[in-house]
Amino acid sequence: MYRYWKKRFKTTLEQDEELEAIKKELKKLVKKKFGGSLAIRMVDSGSCNACEAECNALSNPYYNLEELGIHFVASPRHADVMFLSGVMTFNMYHHAIDCYNQIPSPKWVIAIGDCVKDLGVFEKTYAIKGNSIEVTHYIPNCPPSPKDIIAGFLEFAREV
């Protein structure tokens, strides 16, 4: 069956040279600064789910972040970097900080999307606390596209 389907699999990907250049440099930097492996823990503190969808898209064949040695991990204790999205709600506040505290040092926080910085289009209500975790690098836009995220990640890797 494997051979049967392998023969029939004819799928092609459009190449994006700009993206490839970014990825190439990022891979080098990950190798140089993080020993070739960087683990990310994604925490949603009250987003609309678009930022999460874009982070999920990072592992599809077009972006394939894993080949650079960057991968999403299931526990904060395995992570180097925290991706933070959302407005930081009242109800998530303690949990998000708990999660941050569980990440071993050295650690960095990258904010995904406008919500983290200034709530984006949302306004302060009693149910929103706003972020108080120190952010190393902001990736703006609502939501940032996967390419924005990779480009933002490169900026972060250059700065660190």
Partner 1 sequence: MRLIARFAQELQNGIEIVDVYDKETQKSLLSFDNLKIGTLTKKYPSAIWMERKISDEFGVEFIDSFDTRPLLKHEHFPSDIYPLRKNFNATEINFSEYKPYDYEAIGGDGVFQVAVGPIHAGIIEPGHFQFSQAGEEILHLEIRHFYKYRAIEKMCEGKEPMAIKKIVERISGNESVAYQVAFVDILAQASGIELPTSIKQKYATLLEVERIIHHLTDIGFIANDVGFAPALALGGKLSEEARRVFAKITGHRFGFGAIKEELTIDFGSLIEFLNYLEKELEFFRDWIYDIPSVWDRFDTTGKLSVRKAIKYGVVGVGARASGVKVDARDNDFYKNFGYQMQLGKKGEVSDRFKLRFNEIFNSIEMIKNFETYDNEGFEFGEFKDGEYSAFTESSIGELFMYLKIKNGLVDRFFVRDPSFINWQAFHTTIYKDIIADFPLINKSFDLSYAGSDL
Residue 80 as a binder of partner 1 (CB under 8 A): the answer is: no
User: Which of 47, 79, 131, 150 lies at the binding interface for partner 1 (CB under 8 A)?
Assistant: 47
Q: Give the bridge partners for 82, in sequence order.
A: 41, 109
Return the structure tokens found at 60: 């599809």
Give the phi and the psi of residue 77 in degrees, each rounded to 5.
-70, -15
State in angstroms the smallest separation of the CB of 82 from partner 1. Answer: 11
Instruction: Say if strands 38-44 and 81-85 run parallel, antiparallel, or are unpaired.
Output: parallel
User: Which of 23, 29, 30, 46 lies at the binding interface for partner 1 (CB under 8 A)?
Assistant: 46
Quick one: which segment of 29-37, 46-54, 103-111, 132-140 binds partner 1 (CB under 8 A)? 46-54
Rg of the chain over Cα atoms, rounded to whole angstroms, equals 17
Return the structure tokens found at 33: 């600064």
Quick one: which segment of 20-28, 31-39, 53-61, 150-158 binds partner 1 (CB under 8 A)? 53-61
Q: Considering only residues 126-155, where is the footprint of partner 1 by CB under 8 A?
A: 126-128, 142-143, 145
Residue 74 as a binder of partner 1 (CB under 8 A): the answer is: yes
> Any idea which residue has 């200034």 for tokens?
118
Residue 105 as a binder of partner 1 (CB under 8 A): the answer is: no
> What distances in angstroms separate CA 51 from CA 13, 20, 67, 79, 119, one per listed residue?
24, 22, 21, 19, 14
Residue 5 as a binder of partner 1 (CB under 8 A): the answer is: yes
> Any idea which residue has 């069956």 for tokens?
1
What is the contact surface with partner 1 in residues (CB under 8 A)? 1, 5, 8, 11, 13, 42-57, 59-62, 72, 74-76, 86-87, 89-96, 99, 120-128, 142-143, 145
